[in-house]
Amino acid sequence: MDRWIALLAGLLALIVGVLLFWLRGPTPPLAETAPRVFVVEIRDHYFDPPGLSLRPGDRVVWVLKENAQGDGHTVTAYHPSQDRPLRIPPGAPPWNSGLLTEIGQTYSYLFSVPGVYDYLCILHEQQGMVGRVRVGSAASVTEQGLPAAAQSSIPTVDELSGVVGEAFTAMALLQGIEYLAQQPQAAQALRQLNEFQRGFPQSALAEALAKQGVREQFENRLAVLEALLSRGAPLSAIAQTVSQAKALLERIVKL
Residue 129: DSSP 8-state: -
- What distances in angstroms separate CA 133 from CA 52, 213, 252, one per listed residue? 5, 29, 19
Can you give the pLDDT at residue 2?
46
The residues, any chain, with a CB within 8 Å of residue 10's CB and separated by 6 or more, are none
Domain boundaries, the chain: 37-156, 165-253
Low-confidence ranges of the chain (pLDDT < 70): 1-33, 255
Q: Residue 7: its pLDDT value, please?
A: 41
37-156 CATH, one of 3.90.1150.10, 2.130.10.10, 3.40.640.10, 2.60.40.420: 2.60.40.420
Give every CB contact of residue 248 below 8 A, 6+ residues apart in sequence: 209, 212, 214, 217, 218, 221
Task: Answer whether 15's CB lies under 8 Å from 7's CB.
Answer: no
What's the pLDDT at 255?
60
